[in-house]
Amino acid sequence: MGSGPVRWLVNAGFNRRSRRRAAAVASLRVARVQERTLRDLVRVGRDTRFGRDHEFRRIDGIAAYRAAVPLRTYEALWNDYLRDRYPVLEDLTWPGRIPYFALTSGTTQGATKYIPVSRAMVASNRRAAETMLAFHVAARGSSRLFRGRMFFLGGTTKLEEPAPGVRQGDLSGIAALEVEPAARAYTYPPLDLALESDWDRKLSRLAERSVRERITLVGGVPSWLLMLFRRVLKIGGKSTIGEIWPDLELVVHGGVKFDPYAESFRRILGRPDIRLQDAYACSEGFVAFGDPATGHLRLALDHGIFYEFVPVEELDSPSPVRHWLGDVQPGVNYAIVVTTCAGLWGHVIGDTLRFESVDPPLITFTGRTRYTLSAFGEHLINEEVEGAIATASLACKTAVGDWHVGPVFRGTPGFHQYVVEFQGAGPDPVEFRRRLDADLSRRNADYLAHRAEKVGLPLPALLVARPGSFESWMRDRGKLGGQNKVPRMDATGKLTADLVEYLHGRDLVDREIAAG
């Protein structure tokens, strides 16, 4: 691992650079940086097939870019450009050959997506991650991240090779492979463990070996981190993670909204000085990170991504209005659009956000464009349900492990079915449901109207699942580990019905109360 003096010097050097980087980012002129980013991307991509098709040589600014390049979903990009040339994409939407594909089906039931990851995008992700750590160091003042090892809980580095020189798999596995050799002594797990593809075996091996390491940072999807922590506690024979890893100072979480998990993490970590850090990194790029000063997400500006924002209600219109950081407004629910150094141009990634501040660019992640619950006209969005789950948990003095909700089209007009797995014994389900319903009614006038009319939605049904139920379900669906996340909301009700049937069939139902 390297000697103590060497680690001290490396840590001191990183801290100095981090403070300079954080100060430089804080002084950036937001609109100017983004305008320059777009010009650079268009210049680099002008001789690709996409660049020729869209006459990049004639583009001289943001307005011209919008006129030349329409918005595209992944499905449109796949059909228009990727399908016929996959897996060898060479000078197609980005110069050179694309070396990686990040495989993802998102958090819905859609088919696998093959998201191009260029060498420039690998560097972009690394730069954004370093900026995130720089803000942590600048806020903490006495960080010792490089005095130990930073533990990134991700997918296997054993990637498929669909063509010579082209590999595909979980984005976290790609990132682990791309760790610079000089940095490997400061990261965990080592390559022999990162290669493990069996998630259960990998978690056990990671836990067994990590209790002997000086872990300063741990990062991953919240549900998988909790699973890891439970195994670490069992092996280490302690009651909190803070006791096993006394040098732990930062937990980086991402992939899902964290609020419902917050109490579980506070309990299992056991030390208030361990900072919880949000990271908004998706297969399309590293978008934002938690700002220590405000608690909001801060857009990563200067690393090869140009951002646009479309009001959600306009997204499906023939000519949606496209905003950028020069003219967005706080308080509007936007769908985010990215143009990236991996050859995604005007790409609708399917996430929604709201600006809290434009300069600095601070945002709140509000959900997915397809993550809405409005089977009966109630118009609930992901952010509202996440918030209500967190509020009910706090009021009932409990901690949620995982959860899911979807409609059931039975009765007049039907009802919402919640499936919740709590940490520990869990609360009185009747009280939890009452608190949840009351908070949703407070947050959303449409939901309140449908509930108050007495002829619409009844109180939702609530199924309390036994501990480990979601883990079992995800395992049997082949979705365990890595960047896979439990699907939160199901507009169709089909996935919800599958989950409820699965839990009943395997005797994983702890308690259940019907709708009404």
- Check residue 240 and give its pLDDT: 98
Given this model, what pLDDT does residue 453 score?
Answer: 61
- Residue 187 CB: number of other CB atoms within 10 A? 16
Rounded to an integer, the average pLDDT of 242-251 is 98
State the maximum Cα–Cα separation within the chain, in Å, rounded to a whole number. 71
140 within domain boundaries: no
Which tens digits make up the pLDDT trace of 428-469?
A: 999 999 999 999 999 887 788 778 665 678 999 999 999 999
Computed over every residue of the chain, the mean pLDDT equals 92
CATH of the domain at 378: 3.30.300
Percent of the chain at pLDDT > 70 equals: 96
> Would you say residue 181 lies in a domain?
no
Q: Establish if 82 belongs to a structural domain.
A: no
pLDDT score of 492: 84
Handedness of CA 32, 34, 40, 45 (dihedral sign): negative
Of 40, 33, 71, the C-alpha closest to 56 is 40
Q: How confident is the model at residue 382 (pLDDT cuts 50, 70, 90)?
A: confident
Each residue's pLDDT tens digit, 181-228: 989 999 999 989 999 988 889 999 999 999 999 999 999 988 889 889
50 Cβ contact list (under 8 Å, min separation 6): 81, 92, 93, 343, 345
pLDDT above 90: percentage of residues in the chain: 76
Q: In this predicted structure, what is the pLDDT of residue 107?
A: 42
What digits encode the pLDDT tens for the residues 468-504?
Answer: 999 999 999 888 876 678 888 888 889 999 999 999 9
pLDDT of residue 200: 84
What local confidence, expressed as pLDDT, does residue 94 receive?
A: 98
Quote the domain boundaries for residue 492.
Answer: 372-513
407, part of any domain: yes
Q: Classify 278 as helix, strand or coil.
A: strand
Cβ-based neighbour number of residue 111 at 10 Å = 9
**Residue 74 falls within a domain, yes or no?**
no
pLDDT at res. 59: 98
Q: What is the mean pLDDT of residues 414-424?
A: 93
Residue 369: which pLDDT band, with cuts at 50, 70 and 90? confident
pLDDT at 296 > cutoff 70: yes
User: Residue 111: pLDDT band by 50, 70, 90 thresholds?
Assistant: low
- Is 214 inside a domain boundary? no
Residue 397 lies in a domain: yes
Q: Do 402 and 386 touch, CB atoms closer than 8 A?
A: no
Residue range 36-88, pLDDT digits in tens: 999 999 999 999 999 999 999 999 999 999 999 999 999 999 999 999 999 99
Predicted pLDDT of residue 108? 40
Inform me whether the pLDDT recorded for 344 exceeds 70: yes
Outline where 326-410 has alpha helix (H): 382-395
What is the pLDDT averaged over residues 229-254? Answer: 96
Q: Is the pLDDT of residue 106 over 80?
A: no
Q: What is the pLDDT of residue 454?
A: 58
With respect to residue 286, please indicate whether it lies within any of the assigned structural domains: no
User: Do 159 and 151 touch, CB atoms closer than 8 A?
Assistant: no
Helices (H), 332-428: 382-395
**pLDDT on residue 451:** 82
The answer to whether 217 touches 150, Cβ cutoff 8 Å, is yes
Check residue 251 and give its pLDDT.
98
Residue 479 has what DSSP assignment? -
Least confident span in 14-18, 70-74, 255-259: 255-259
Q: What is the pTM of this model?
A: 0.81
Number of structural domains the chain divides into: 1
pLDDT of residue 409: 84
pLDDT of the residue at 87 = 97
